[in-house]
């Protein structure tokens, strides 16, 4: 049936997720490059709309930057779909993956544009195969001298100088510290906490097993996921390899958004229409070691509350979900706030099992949510995004039903609590705020510890080699330690 909505109502009419994974990998040079993956996904999204000619009417073509150096793939995509009048847009890493939908839907609602294409892709599997072959990967970039018409770039630093000095910059290490702080906050034992992470990731793996598009969909037991092993080595306690996002994939996704007026003019059938209801984002930067509550994500709480309030529903009334899943704690802070169990948090299996193309997974997940919404019936769908080290957070609600109120892009306010003071040279007695034990292929390397002194000032300290038993039994958080010259833990 036709929808009686205002002409400028933004609608998502085409969605597609693709992969380039041959059963017997050919030479890496025979695999598609990123712009080709994007173009394939966009053409598939156009076909999904039922009216592929709509692509040529695109006003914006937005490409999410990944782990690649192409200068203007959005222009290549625009040329491939015949959208000669489209503006090419590059959204850099650090721009939330919900942002293109917020800006495109907002521009459509305001009458600034009629049609937008959003796309992204990663070809790290291609790069991996080149490395395995001992060859240098080469790429073609016909737009190397063509700047995008719009270049969306983040601002500010996501890490503190002391984090850089102590080499606490790898995402797995920072997320592990958040995870350990979350455990202590909730009063869990280390054994119970590890078992809960294993159970959560086992559920995500179960979903991936039934997802034909999952890159790593083979069954994984809770024991395999929980216990370190040669095939699942410890990276940063409590995280092992398979707790982390797996980005060695060739995957892409794309969407076509337009006004209701344009959808009608191009003959898009109503059964293809999905309505963006709202997007809420927190773009306020605060390095991990300066967050008053290391275990918390006030930005996520505010963003989730904002989209649910706009939707006029509670979390348990939501339909399909795809919560951002780079590491278990990213899921856990969201699920904890929403009050939802582990059996309904993903449609894909998450970034460890479905595949985690950098700066593009939200698009992969949204394609799965759109498919569920079209299959209906059910409540509105929710997709979420993270940028940085749980630094920025985004949430977006989509539905097969028209929105109860006009589309809204919501920027939630900064945290109310001030940043914690840091002193890189402080020594003396303090308490452990959080920590992780870092490992490599040979085993544990060191412990990195966030310590708070009696006056509330913090520092980072290390212990090399780490007292593994002290950090992986009992509860180290809250324990008294001594920081000596050079930022070294003297006692545990």
Portions of the chain given CATH number 2.40.50.840: 428-491
- The size of the chain, in residues, is 492
pLDDT of residue 442: 92
Portions of the chain given CATH number 3.40.47.10: 10-157+247-411
| Residues contacting residue 24 through CB under 8 Å, at least 6 positions apart | none
**Contact, 61 vs 86, CB < 8 A?**
yes
pLDDT of residue 165: 96
pLDDT of residue 486: 79
pLDDT of residue 377: 85
Local mean pLDDT, 10-residue blocks, the chain (492 residues): 91 97 82 97 98 98 97 98 97 97 98 98 96 95 95 94 97 98 97 97 98 96 96 97 97 98 97 98 96 96 98 96 98 98 97 96 98 94 97 97 96 89 96 97 95 98 94 94 86 66
Q: What CA–CA distance (Å, rounded) separates 425 from 225? A: 38
Hey, what CATH topology would domain 428-491 get?
OB fold (Dihydrolipoamide Acetyltransferase, E2P) (2.40.50)
Could you tell me the sign of the dihedral formed by the alpha carbons of 292, 294, 300, 301, in that order?
Answer: negative
DSSP lists the bridge partners of residue 392 as: 387
CATH number of 10-157+247-411: 3.40.47.10
DSSP lists the bridge partners of residue 462 as: 448, 488
Global pTM reads 0.96
């Amino acid at each position: 049936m036709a929808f009686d909505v205002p002409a400028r109502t933004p609608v998502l009419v085409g969605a597609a997720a693709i992969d380039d994974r041959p059963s017997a990998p050919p030479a890496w040079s025979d695999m598609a490059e990123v712009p080709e993956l994007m173009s394939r996904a966009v053409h598939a999204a156009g076909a999904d709309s039922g009216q592929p000619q709509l692509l040529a009417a695109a006003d914006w073509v937005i490409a999410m930057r990944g782990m690649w150096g192409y200068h203007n793939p959005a222009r290549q995509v625009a040329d491939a779909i015949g959208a000669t009048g489209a503006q090419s847009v590059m959204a850099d890493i650090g721009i939330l993956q919900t942002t293109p939908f917020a800006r495109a839907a907002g521009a459509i609602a305001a009458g600034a544009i009629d049609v937008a294409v959003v796309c992204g892709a990663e070809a790290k599997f291609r790069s991996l195969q080149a490395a395995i072959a001992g060859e240098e990967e080469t790429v073609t970039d016909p737009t190397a001298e063509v700047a995008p018409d719009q270049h969306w770039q983040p601002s500010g630093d996501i890490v503190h100088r002391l984090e850089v000095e102590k080499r606490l910059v790898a995402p797995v290490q920072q997320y592990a510290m958040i995870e350990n702080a979350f455990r202590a906050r909730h009063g869990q034992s280390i054994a119970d906490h590890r078992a809960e992470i294993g159970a959560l990731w086992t559920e995500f793996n179960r979903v991936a097993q039934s997802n034909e598009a999952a890159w790593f969909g083979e069954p994984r037991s809770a024991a395999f996921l929980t216990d370190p092993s040669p095939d699942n080595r410890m990276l940063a306690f409590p995280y092992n390899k398979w707790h982390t996002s797996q980005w060695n994939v060739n995957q892409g996704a794309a969407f076509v958004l337009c006004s209701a007026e344009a959808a009608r003019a191009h003959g898009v059938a109503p059964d293809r229409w999905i309505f963006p209801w709202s997007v809420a984002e927190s773009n306020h930067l605060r390095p991990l070691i300066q967050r008053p509550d290391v275990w918390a994500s006030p930005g996520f709480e505010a963003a989730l509350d904002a989209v649910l309030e706009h939707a006029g529903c509670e979390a348990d009334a939501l339909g399909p979900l795809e919560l951002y899943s780079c590491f278990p704690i990213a899921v856990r802070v969201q699920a904890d706030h929403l009050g939802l169990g582990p059996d309904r948090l993903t449609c894909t299996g998450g970034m460890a099992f479905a595949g985690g193309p950098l700066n593009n997974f939200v698009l992969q997940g949204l394609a799965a949510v759109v498919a569920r919404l079209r299959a209906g019936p059910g409540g509105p769908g929710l997709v979420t995004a993270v940028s940085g080290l749980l630094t920025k957070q985004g949430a977006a609600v989509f539905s097969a039903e028209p929105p109860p109120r006009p589309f809204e892009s919501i920027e939630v306010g900064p945290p109310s609590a001030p940043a914690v003071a840091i002193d890189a040279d402080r020594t003396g007695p303090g308490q452990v705020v959080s920590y992780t034990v870092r490992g490599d292929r040979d085993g544990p390397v060191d412990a990195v510890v966030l310590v708070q002194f009696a006056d509330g000032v913090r520092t980072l300290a290390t212990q090399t080699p780490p007292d593994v038993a002290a950090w992986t039994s009992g509860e180290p958080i809250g324990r008294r330690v001594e920081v000596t010259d050079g930022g070294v833990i003297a006692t545990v």
